[in-house]
Amino acid sequence: MTRIVLLLLSLTWILGAQQWPAFRGPMGSGVNEAANPPVKWNGETGENIAWKTPIPGISTSSPVVWGGKVFVVTSVSADPKAEFRHGLFGDVEPSKDTAEHEWKIYCLDRRTGDILWERLAYKGVPKVKRHPKSSFSSPSPVTDGKRVVAWFGSEGVYAWDMDGKPLWKREAGVLDQGWFFDPDYQWGAASSPMLWQDLVLLQADQQQGSWLAAWDAATGKEVWRVERDEIPGWATPVVLEHEGAAQLVTNSTKRIRGHDPRTGKLLWELGGNSEITVTTPVLGGGLIFVANGYPPIQPIYAIKWGARGDITLKEGEEANAGLAWSKKRGGPYMPTPLVYGGLLYLCSNNGVLSAYRVTDGERVLQQRVAGKGGAFSASPIAARGRLYLTSEDGEVHVLQAGEKPETLSSNPMGEVLMATPALVDDMIIVRGMKHVFAIREPKVE
């Protein structure tokens, strides 16, 4: 019996190490303790680069991994001068890239980087405009080992089996997502689909007609839909599991909400949020953390798992029956928070890393990433006591986790980095603007 238990634990460890099934991995946590990725590498010289595969087009979406397969999506413009800008700027003018596009998904061999298959999902002129710092394929794909699902915003939702056989496709409608202040400024979709049990979960917050929906993963048939009084947002929903229960948590401007993922029933809601919401909710220590950084409201909320009803804070309150603690300022704009080792890590767009104790919200850290900061859109991730922070400027910084994190390395990739990497087995999979990289130390024979 003991041998059987150990075998099952070993298999669980191995499978966990090889899976990064969604944006930011299992439950959107950004953590894979079963993985043991490298600390040092160089994408320019090839040091510890197992493979490097070019992918055409412009995409800010993240890679997902299941076993021996890596999935990425992209949108390829017919205009060879299609605009993309990175860095710290505040322009809101949409890109003028309105040429015909091809929306594609690629499946790569995780061992070699070879393209196992590629599929064209949609071809045509984009139905909406996009932000110059974004792409028409910003949502990351998601997989459960049976199928892989990609959402290309206004261009629809598509599902394939693991060998690339088309399973179903559905229209999601034209999504008018942009600046709340001026509807003419369209910025495109970014919220990624989620898979939970037999459901595909989608969040679409737009100028009018916002909704949250669940579709049958096998057939694409709609199971339930909740209409939402929301303005445009770009946050990815996530199903969090704790103490044998599950909640679908959504981050939105007017309300942060918890739903029953099976039915869409509202469990709790919380007002008082940023006017632009991008980050994904995360779980840690029995608390749900939601933080946003669009000024002037930049809150950090530690929501109790058993919260019910309206838990909006009253004037002067920092906690209540549904909130363990909160902060009025300090939330990040683009990078999603990370809960790791009893700390809540937050990385700002300009590379200031902060950390708060999960239990009481005391801030114990505030410093520039690697002593220099930079521009950051990707979210921090973690494994084996290390933090991995990816800058738009083309470096992945590795820090020792803790209240006084030591910089272990700063690793150049040689190209713009917008996407959050994946941690699997002994690898880190990095999506650059031109290539997908697999980083792994050579095996000693």
**Of 278, 378, 361, 285, which is closest to residue 326 (Cα–Cα)?**
361
Does residue 5 surpass a pLDDT of 60?
A: no
Read off the pLDDT of each residue in 141-153 and give the average, rounded to a whole number: 98
**Averaged pLDDT of the chain:** 94
pLDDT at position 113 over 90:
yes
Burial class (CB in 10 A: 0-12, 13-18, 19+), 240: buried
The amino acid occupying position 86 is: H
- Does the pLDDT at position 14 exceed 80? no
For tokens 């738009």, what's the residue? Answer: 392
User: What pLDDT shows up at residue 180?
Assistant: 86
Predicted confidence at residue 316, as pLDDT, reads 94
Q: What is the DSSP letter of 371?
A: G
Backbone angles phi, psi at 9, to 5 degrees: -65, -40
**H/E run at residue 15:** helix 2-17
Percent of the chain with pLDDT over 70: 96
3-state secondary structure of 221: coil
Gap between the Cα atoms of 132 and 194, Å rounded: 26
Q: Which two tokens stand for residue 63?
A: 């890679």
CB of 352 within 8 A of CB of 373? Answer: yes
Write the burial class of residue 171 (CB in 10 Å: 0-12 exposed, 13-18 middle, 19+ buried): exposed
pLDDT at 137 over 90: yes
Q: What is the mean pLDDT of residues 62-86?
A: 95
3-state secondary structure (DSSP) of residue 90: coil
* Token pair listed for 215: 């579709």
CA-CA-CA-CA torsion sign (293, 299, 305, 306): negative
Delimit the domains of the chain by residue range: 19-439
Which CATH number describes the domain made up of 19-439? 2.130.10.10
Q: Is 309 exposed, middle or buried (0-12, 13-18, 19+ CB in 10 A)?
A: exposed
How far apart are the C-alpha atoms of 180 and 233, rounded to whole Å?
A: 9
pLDDT digits (tens, 9 = 90+) for 212-270: 999 999 999 999 999 999 999 999 999 999 999 999 999 999 999 999 999 999 999 99
pLDDT per position as a tens digit, 376-428: 999 999 999 999 999 999 999 999 999 999 999 999 999 999 999 999 999 99
Mean pLDDT within 149-158: 98
Task: For residue 212, give the 3-state DSSP assignment.
Answer: strand
Q: How confident is the model at residue 445 (pLDDT cuts 50, 70, 90)?
A: low
CA distance 351 to 395: 12
Give the distance from CA 365 to its chain's centroid: 24
Distance (Å, rounded) from C-alpha 149 to C-alpha 154? 15
Q: What is the largest CA-CA distance in the chain?
A: 65
**What mean pLDDT do residues 32-47 have?**
97
Share of the chain residues as helix, strand and coil, in percent rounded to the nearest 5 = 5, 40, 55
CB-CB contact of 323 with 396 (8 Å): no
27 DSSP 8-state letter: G
Predicted pLDDT at 336: 98
Cα(136)–Cα(125) distance, integer angstroms: 11
